[in-house]
Structure 1
Amino acid sequence: MKVVLLSLGKTDEDFYVQAMDIFRKRLSHYLPFDLEFVPDVKNTKNLSEKEQKNLEGEAMLSRIQQGDYVVLLDDKGKQYSSVEFSRYIEKKSHSVPKRLVFVVGGPYGFPDEVYRRANEKLSLSRMTFTHQMVRLVFVEQLYRAMTILNGEPYHHE
């Protein structure tokens, strides 16, 4: 199984890029992992919130393949502790044949078409984070999950 984090827009801040690169490299020892970026929608000043959300959704859906298991990172999704998330990843590794795709939405969330395509929703926190922070938190938690599953000392209880 390959894990993909699909996100709108690129990461601009160097410190986020550097931190994500550290965790991406560490993750490569455990499983195939990719960060995929959908370009930001242009000329958003001329678009309504709904139009922008729909264009972002179309771009995201174009990157999702048939057979992908899609998990939206959504504030209304299920929340897990780090240990519970590691068990979640372990279960998915036995049931998802190709790609487990986690999706970070745009500033207005996901349009209905993306919700309909999703298999489930997961929340990283009840708090609101920037999209760049969500990417970093997710990659770190995925790495943490892998170390938990492998009995390594990165995670302490």
Structure 2
Amino acid sequence: MKIILVLIGKTDESYLNTGIKKYLDRLIHYIPFEMKVIPDLKNTKNMTEEQQKNKEGELILQQIQPGDEMILLDEGGKIFSSREFASFMEQKLLRGLKRLVFVIGGPYGFSNNVYHKANGKVSLSKMTFSHQMVRLIFAEQIYRAMTILKNQPYHHD
């Protein structure tokens, strides 16, 4: 199985890029992982939030292939402990999915069309994080899940 992380806009902060790279470099030892960055929309000053979400939604759905399972990182999603998330990932691995696609939306969230096509939603916390910070937190949690599944000493209860 390959994990794809689709996200809107590049990461602007160098400290976030450094952290993301750290976990992506570690993850390659466990599972194929790829980040697909959809460029920020242009001329959003002339768009309503809804129009922006719809346009981003179209671009997100273009990244989804037949047979993919798409999980949205969304504040209304299921909250897991790290061990529960590792079990969630293990179930996906055992199902033999070719690609598991996680999506981080833009600053206004997802369009209704993306919500309807999603296979599930995961929340990283009841707190709200910037959509750029979520990238680092999620990369670390994927890495943590892989180390839990391999019984390696990274995670401590």
User: When the two structures are superposed, what TM-score results if normalisation uses the length of structure 1?
Assistant: 0.98
What are the Cα deviations for residues 22-66 of structure 1, in whole angstroms up to 9, with x where unaligned? Answer: 100100000000011111111111111111110010111111111
Instruction: Show the counterpart of 2:105.
Output: 105
Aligned partner letter, 1:111: S
Q: Provide the secondary structure at the position in 2 that maps to 1:122.
A: strand
Q: Provide the secondary structure at the position in 1 that maps to 2:62.
A: helix
Instruction: Show the counterpart of 1:54.
Output: 54
Aligned partner letter, 1:123: S
User: When the two structures are superposed, what TM-score results if normalisation uses the length of structure 2?
Assistant: 0.98
Give unpaired runs (5+ residues) of structure 1.
none
Residues 69, 96 of structure 1: 8 Å contact kept = no
The alpha carbon displacement at 1:96 in A equals 4.3
Inter-partner Cα distance in structure 2 for 1:105 and 1:33 = 18
Instruction: Show the counterpart of 1:76.
Output: 76
Q: Provide the secondary structure at the position in 1 that maps to 2:72.
A: strand
Inter-partner Cα distance in structure 1 for 2:97 and 2:130 = 31
Q: Provide the secondary structure at the position in 2 that maps to 1:156.
A: coil
Instruction: Show the counterpart of 2:41.
Output: 41
Q: Provide the secondary structure at the position in 2 that maps to 1:77.
A: strand
| In the alignment, structure 1 residue 64 sits paired with structure 2 residue 61 | no
Instruction: Show the counterpart of 1:17.
Output: 17
Residues 147, 155 of structure 1: 8 Å contact kept = yes
Percent pairwise identity:
55
Aligned partner letter, 2:16: Y
